[in-house]
Structures are given as C-alpha cells and as structure tokens.
Amino acid sequence: MATAQFGSETSQRGEWVRQANRFTDRIGSPDWPAEAGRYRLVVSLACPWAHRAVIVRRLLGLEDTISLGVVDPIRDDKGWRFTLDDGDRDPVLGIGYLSEAYLATDPSFSGRYTVPSLIDVPSGKVVTNDYPQITIDFSLRWKAFHRAGAPDLYPETLREEIDAVNAEVYRDVNNGVYRCGFATSQQAYDKAYAALFERLDALAARLADQRYLVGDTITEADVRLFTTLVRFDAVYHGHFKTNRNKLAELPVLWAYARDLFSTPGFGDTVDFDHIKRHYYGTHHQLNPSLIVPQGPDPRGWYEPHGREALGGRPFGSGTPPR
C-alpha cells in the first residue's frame, strides 16, 4: 500500500482502499447482551454508513432502547467532535471526541475513528464500528425491543438475495462513489466511474417494474442504496466527479429515491446541511476553498414519484414508525 489518504489508503495504482473495521463484537454475545439503555449509537448525519443505522433504528422503533449521539459534521484532525452538545461533550458518554472511546477500548489504536460506532455506556468502550453488521443485528438481535408493527427488513426467505444485491451495491455504488472521488490516478478513477454507472443502469433496469430491490417490501437492501442516492446530487456528482448523470436525470432511480424519501423513517432522517458541510468542509484536498455550494434545490425531493402504481407494501404487514 502507498501513503494513507482520507483515513484509508491508496494502492500503487491509485485505487482508494477503505479502512477495515477495527471493532467487530456483536450484541447478543455473552459479553454484550441486548439491554435497553445500555448502548449509545454515535453517528454523523452526514455519513451514509451511519445514516443506515439511523434509518433502521427508527423503522424498528429502537429509539427508546438505543440512545443516539450526533457529532459535528466537520471532522478535524482529532476526528469526530461532540460540539453540538452543551459544553462540547456528549451528555451520556461524557466525552468530547469519539476518539476517546476508541482509545479507551484500544490504547494502541492509530486508525481513523469512524461512525457509526455502538458504545457500551457503563464502560465507555466501543463494542462495534462494523457498519454492515450493526443494521443486520438491529433486525436480528434486538427483536425483543422492536416496536409493535416493525417491518421485517431482513426476512429469512430473502436473505441470500438481499446479501447478493448488497454486495454488488456496496462494491460499485456505496463504496464506488468514494473510489471515484479519492482515486489518485486516471486509470483508477475511470475504472470506478465505469463500474458505478454500469451498476446504476442495472439497478434502474431492475427497478423499472418493481417498487423495491428485493421482494415487495422495504428491506435492508433499499436502506443501503438510499443513503448513497440521497447524497448523489448534493455531493457525489460534483465533489466526487461522478458526473455522467445527476440522479435527477435518471428517471427510474430518481423516482425510486423520492418514493423512499417520502416514506417515514427515510426522508425525515436526512440532513442536507450536515451532508454538504461535511463533504465540502472536510475534504481539503478535493475542495481547498472549503466553499459549500448552495444547491441543489431540495424541493425536487417532494415531487410526486408515481411508484405506488407498481404495487408493493412499504412495511409489509407492519406499520410506519411514529
């Protein structure tokens, strides 16, 4: 590997490589039983990986079971900061920086402090920052605390298909936009750009005659795709050079994203201010001026999407979150 960049690394070919998750313990193990009030989910509202956990927590009704800490959208040299809270400290954990929880767990840790992180409140230690597993565990290992009418986001009969779709979406779309934005060679950028739009075209074809990615209800797969799509025009299209088309110029995906945006638990967890301030105000190498653009106009997200005509039941036999 070559020199570290943006908290991860670039290969000798200029390809961006995401940092591996350091903490991968699971709730439901003997050391970490599922208990209401014991754990705190720390997120940035700007981060798509953290946004997944916010959506799933809300859809399943875990707000009163797992508390939520939100960091400042601007990450400085010390990492994520709790400057949105009184005294610049998280009111539950009592820390000013997420790094304090990481170093309390592993004093030798020298990587990037990432969100989402699920932290054990009594000890102040990080249980997991394994973002793909956090949301799956919310569905499977916190069932006893789900609200009445919570949807099944990871139904057993569809898990193999959901996992396959998630793998493709992660490689080419979720992580693909970063591989475009942080590439340090033309060859690496071109490769990531081609894979991204080939996958978006394939997803559009898949969604042309079905409302959701897998089955006829919202699943984990829709959550994972949505958090990238909702950031696409605001930051990825320009900031990460993913500019073959805007999302608003891709009719099927634009309608699909608006359908989810209008669904309780999705649009009401989006913060475009945090999203734009983080990306444009943190990536100095990509945006030396740190100017945050005014657009795009968010009112387009509220336009009718017409996807109801495809059928489907957003929450299956369940109900929307409160």
Pull the structure tokens for residue 268: 């009401």
115, 98 Cβ separation under 8 angstroms? yes
Q: Length of the chain, please?
A: 322
| Residue 247 to residue 182: CA distance in whole angstroms | 20
Active-site residue identified among 47, 102, 180, 279: 47
Active-site residue identified among 39, 131, 154, 178: 178
Those residues with Cβ within 8 angstroms of residue 156's Cβ, 6 or more apart along the chain or in another chain? none
| Residue 102 to residue 108: CA distance in whole angstroms | 9
| Residue 310 to residue 306: CA distance in whole angstroms | 8
Identity at 276, one-letter amino acid code: K
Pull the structure tokens for residue 87: 């005294």
Short-list 204, 242, 266, CA closest to 258: 266
282, 290 Cβ separation under 8 angstroms? no
Burial of 149 by CB count in 10 Å (0-12 exposed, 13-18 middle, 19+ buried)? Answer: middle
Question: Is residue 178 annotated as a catalytic residue, yes or no?
Answer: yes
Those residues with Cβ within 8 angstroms of residue 265's Cβ, 6 or more apart along the chain or in another chain? 55, 58, 59, 320, 321
Those residues with Cβ within 8 angstroms of residue 307's Cβ, 6 or more apart along the chain or in another chain? 211, 255, 256, 258, 259
Pull the structure tokens for residue 140: 């499977």
Pull the structure tokens for residue 128: 């997991």
Task: Classify each residue of 29-68 as buried b or exposed e, where b means 16 or more C-beta atoms within 10 Å of its C-beta.
Answer: eeebebeeebbbbbbbbbbbbbbbbbbbbbbbbbeebbbb
Q: Which residues are catalytic?
A: 47, 178
